[in-house]
Structure 1
Amino acid sequence: MASTADGRATAAAVRTPWPASRVFSVVWALLSALSAVWALATPISGSPDEPAHIVRAASVVRGELVGTPSADGHVVTVPRYIADTQRETCFAFHPRVTANCPVADHGDPGALTSGTTTAGLYNPLYYYAVGWPSLLFSTDAGIYAMRIVSGILSSLFAALALLVLWRRDPSPFLVLGFAVAVTPLTLFLNGSVNPNGLEATATLAVFAGVLSIVRGGADVPLGPAAAVVAAAGFVAVNARGLSPLWVLLAVVLPLVLLDRRALWSLLRRRAVLIAAAVVAAGTIAALAWTLGSNSLLNAVDHPESTPQRFAGVGTNFFSGFFITMERTVEYAHGVIGLFGWLDTPAPPEVFFVWTALIGALLLAAFSLLRSRALLLAVLLLASFVLLPPLVQGVYITGGGVIWQGRYVLPLFLCLIVGLAVLLGGRVPFTPEAAPWRRLSWIVVVALAVAQFYAFENTLRRYSVGDGGSLKAFLLGSPPWAPPGGNLVLLVLFAALVAAGAWLALRSVLRVRHDTPTPLVAAGA
């Protein structure tokens, strides 16, 4: 009798899915808050190449788009506290060194002075978007504000991606897949002054929008999804030098779900044509900047204008390809949790959780998907695995080995979310069934604990050094502490992660998914 009563109570709790507008606002707010805590917990200059990006952002919003080439990068004029970020990297590549770098006091931190940046030729769009807080502050508060703005923008596009997919089909698999896609590295990059985070989430929004359009029928309104594709596509292609390649894949790959007649019908719809025109215009602008500035090959053509040197210069294409290919698993760690200047990996348990869940998702996809859905899954995985070796092979002869795992984060997000959507269209989900409830709890709780552990471990490394005293970290006077202190940020992050876990479970267990939505509507 007890089990029957429990079943009735569980079935009663299964209600209609939350409105898409509520999902969007909650996810945007939650991801922005988590990114902001990462922004506060990371010391100034504590993410890859962040000093170069900080100086670039502050110079761009002051009207200096390029600066003057020099052996240390492009020389620009910025406030002194911005220029000093280049000297606040004593802990980089030294895990046992804390982040309290001694920087000499040169007077007014807001006074304008010369600074250098190795990002002086990068597309200015991202730097316009995040650099304006440096006009309002004359202390390090301006840098933290730039990080928070970057996190809000990056989280906006992640929330838009979930919004368009949720409007089309509020599948429990979508929620779980999205939770797997938002790795600790994603939140860390969102909370840094670095275009990598915005590039990744905006590319995901493009992919999600196109996937939603493709999976809709002939009578389904395309306006909202097309608007997301247009806005996200314009931003994404102008984020970094390789961004047009990722956006091209995000647009083209979902089209394999359509046959020739359905594709032709879709390409004649007004909303699709407008979105395509906007993305094309953004792509032309991005390519014009990249080719005009020679930002991708400047270090090759003008090595005297940059201090960066990389091993492998002169090596042939095939060596570059196989060097990168054999390090695929190592590079894959870079989309999960390599923090700092790639010198602070997440604990092994964090990698285990994400590796297990990604492996389970891949296994389920390649076991259960059929026909065009299986083809899309294969293409997504092949792009994630093969494009890094191809790009590195092309670049290695002139520029050496430059690849980092975080560079392929856009394709990782598309892969994980794409597989979750495809599985949601294939597998029925009944939340009152004990196995599904148990699976949901295991996945969500494991991800929540791993998120917190990655955050705590990274903050502890900055504060007391790798292997430092836990007592000093939590209750003592550590050599370095973030604004608000270690304990406050740990409690805040734990509360946000717990809230996210609760919301994820509520949304997953709220929807019965007995009849999966067809991957492509019959009228497409």
Structure 2
Amino acid sequence: MSPSRIWALAFLAFFLVGAAWAMASPYDGAPDEVRHIIRAAGVVQGQIFPTPATSRAGTLDLYWADRYELFLAAHHDLHLAAGHRPTARRHVKGAGGRGRAARSLPPLSHAARRAAARRGRALLAEARDQLPPAPATGAYQTVPKGLVAGGPPSTEYNYCYHWIASQSAACAPVPGKGGSKPFTVFTGAGRYNPVYYAAVGEPLVRWPDWTGILLARLISAALCAAFLASAWLSCVQWRRSRLLIAGLLVAATPAFFELAGAINPNSLEIAAGISLGAAAIPLLLDTGSEHVQGWLRRAAVAAIGIGQFRAMGPAWMAVLLAVLLIPPVRARLRQLWSRHSARWWSAAVVASCALGAAWTIVFRTLQAESDHFTYGVLWTLRHEITGALPRNIEQMVDGFSYLDTRPPREIAAVWLIALCALVIAAFAWGSRTQRWRLAALICGTLAIPVTVEMLTANAVGFTFQGRYLLPLAASTPLLAAFITGSSGRVSIRLQARWIRALVVILLPIQLLSLAWVMDRWQSGVGPGHSLDPLSGSWHPVTGSLLPLLVITAGLAGLAVLGWRAARPAEQERALPGGSPPGEGLPLIRRIAQPDHGQRTRSA
């Protein structure tokens, strides 16, 4: 099959999966979507360079302190699953500036969680009257009023069904009311880099209702699918082993596909991160392939995008390249640098990162103005290691919506088992350098949220989410698969079985995840609620059946592609045990091993 046909088929399959999520999601169903809708509509109308501003409509410090009961109700089960006990204390400032110690509560019943949510809202209303609200950073944009039918969003995420899993989206605002009438509104995404928003924003201005929102979501899903198709092609073209495909299947988690069907630059950043890892790993760590030019081009395009989509993009890229290039692979770098295209692509990547960093600095994208916490250093470190970090890892798999939708824990468990299988095999069979490289990537990835929140907890609270890490973390299964595949310890037939096992196990989980989240949006979750994704008090504008049919078609296409890609080539099947010549030797010895003349049938 030609590379262009492989890319096109992979694009179609990935697009259908993302499109299903785009159809199924309610108004502002995915994280921060309304904020990004406002920014996208503003950018395509020429409001590219915003004046940094603050809003006093809501505050992060009140959200995390005075709504602590609501936060606890939404996340309590995650804390218990991580092995926490209700003994941790913290000191937060409440109304009037008086400090109080908050203790984790015992397990809450469904009714108690709803009561805690109501109490959290009451505390917020009371505290707002007693404390001058601290500013939330962003910018003002003038957009069609139909896009913000629910009123301007605040940092409190106060749409009716957010943070209350038992509440369906039937009470959510319906976009379109107010039409194209100009409406100036504050958004926390108002200072973000405009590149992504320029690509998806045009339908929002032309049709400021469900039509425009769905079209913008589908454009975003198509952009993500393009990067994923490039990643698939990079994996298929690595001839030494097929296991890179297994790494890609693990890297594209259900939580990512929810974002792929939403208006959020984080989705495109993750997709570009997957594409970068799939191309850069064989490009820099393997030799002797005829696909170097394709890997180089796809890695460069992904890196250019990562430099622009979000503020932390250049940092993710720097960590990945440092891991792949230290210890240095000088011979490979000299070989690549001898290509004129490599020098031009490198210059483009550097320019993109420089422009992205300049935007972040000039428009103060990462600025946060809040200082109402007094967390101790040791308490913060303990909280990060025992609570926040395990939660971030789980959120990369099943962190849906506003983290208020908790699917069965078996979803994250099975996914993490698939990841651990690749990582354990890589540590067992990789060389010393390869093991150190993988360990550096894992430790570097996990150290980032700990470091960030240690530095910012007293300013903005604990706001880091697992999805922020995915652009970098997605390279972990890819690198582990590369190390395992290049070790020569796994036969061609076993590689095929491994990939097909992941196809059979992981792809149905993608369907289950969508069905579960649809059920939460349509009926709510909890005692007395339906578990039928076709019923409920709210339904998508396309109907509930269509998203399920679309994702089934996309997953079926991925299954066929994965099954065929795992199939051993005819010449490899003819070898005893299904192993290529030299398999079983370390990678370096196998490359250096002279060809003593494999006799052909005619000889």
Maintained 8 Å contact 1:207/1:414: yes
Q: Who is 1:417 aligned against? A: 478
Letter of the 2:487 partner, please give it: R
2:31 to 48, 67, 71: 48
1:443 to 502, 519, 522: 502
SS at match of 2:183: strand
Q: Who is 1:5 aligned against? A: none
1:483 aligns with 2:546: no
Unpaired runs of at least 5, structure 2: 58-137, 573-577, 594-603
The count of aligned residue pairs is 492
1:455 to 502, 505, 514: 514
Q: Who is 1:364 aligned against? A: 425
SS at match of 1:336: helix
- Aligned-residue RMSD, C-alpha: 2.8
Deviation at 1:462, TM superposition (A): 0.3
1:81 to 123, 130, 146: 146
Q: What does the per-residue CA deviation read over 1:441-493, in whole Å, with 9 as the maximum and x for residues that have no partner?
A: 4322111221111111100010011136448653x5x2100133222322332
1:70 aligns with 2:55: yes
SS at match of 2:170: coil
> Matches of 2:331 and 2:9 in 1, distance apart?
39
> Matches of 1:209 and 1:177 in 2, distance apart?
12
Change in Cα spacing, 1:373 to 1:492, as seen in structure 2 (3 Å) is: same
Deviation at 1:323, TM superposition (A): 2.7
Unpaired runs of at least 5, structure 1: 1-17, 304-308
1:224 aligns with 2:285: no
1:60 aligns with 2:29: no
Deviation at 1:414, TM superposition (A): 0.7
> Matches of 1:22 and 1:430 in 2, distance apart?
28
Maintained 8 Å contact 2:146/2:176: no
1:129 to 181, 196, 199: 199
1:22 aligns with 2:5: yes
TM-score after normalising by structure 1: 0.86
Deviation at 1:58, TM superposition (A): 0.8
> Matches of 1:259 and 1:105 in 2, distance apart?
54
SS at match of 1:344: coil
Deviation at 1:84, TM superposition (A): 2.1
Please, which moves more after superposition, 164-173 or 453-462? 164-173
SS at match of 2:362: helix
Please, which moves more after superposition, 59-68 or 162-171? 162-171
Q: What does the per-residue CA deviation read over 1:61-116, in whole Å, with 9 as the maximum and x for residues that have no partner?
A: 11113255432453221011212254682111010111122548995422221222
Q: Write out aligned runs for 1:281-296 (5 A).
A: 281-296=351-366
Change in Cα spacing, 1:273 to 1:179, as seen in structure 2 (3 Å) is: same
> Matches of 1:117 and 1:70 in 2, distance apart?
9
Change in Cα spacing, 1:473 to 1:206, as seen in structure 2 (3 Å) is: closer
Deviation at 1:257, TM superposition (A): 6.5
TM-score after normalising by structure 2: 0.75
Please, which moves more after superposition, 244-253 or 99-108? 99-108
SS at match of 1:76: strand
2:248 to 161, 171, 178: 178
> Matches of 2:176 and 2:562 in 1, distance apart?
49
Identity of aligned pairs, percent? 27
Maintained 8 Å contact 2:23/2:540: yes
Maintained 8 Å contact 2:246/2:498: no
Q: Write out aligned runs for 1:444-523 (5 A).
A: 444-467=503-526, 469-470=529-530, 473-474=533-534, 478-511=536-569, 512=572, 514-515=579-580
> Matches of 1:108 and 1:371 in 2, distance apart?
63
SS at match of 2:474: helix
1:248 aligns with 2:280: no
Maintained 8 Å contact 2:519/2:531: no
Deviation at 1:502, TM superposition (A): 3.0
1:164 aligns with 2:234: yes
Larger of the two Rg values belongs to structure: 2
> Matches of 1:107 and 1:208 in 2, distance apart?
44
SS at match of 1:192: coil
1:354 aligns with 2:415: yes
Q: Who is 1:92 aligned against? A: 162
> Matches of 1:414 and 1:106 in 2, distance apart?
40
SS at match of 2:184: strand
Q: Who is 2:448 aligned against? A: 387
Please, which moves more after superposition, 59-68 or 38-47? 59-68
Change in Cα spacing, 1:360 to 1:238, as seen in structure 2 (3 Å) is: same
Q: Who is 1:31 aligned against? A: 14
Deviation at 1:384, TM superposition (A): 2.1
> Matches of 1:372 and 1:278 in 2, distance apart?
30
Maintained 8 Å contact 1:172/1:429: no
Deviation at 1:438, TM superposition (A): 5.2
Maintained 8 Å contact 2:500/2:562: no
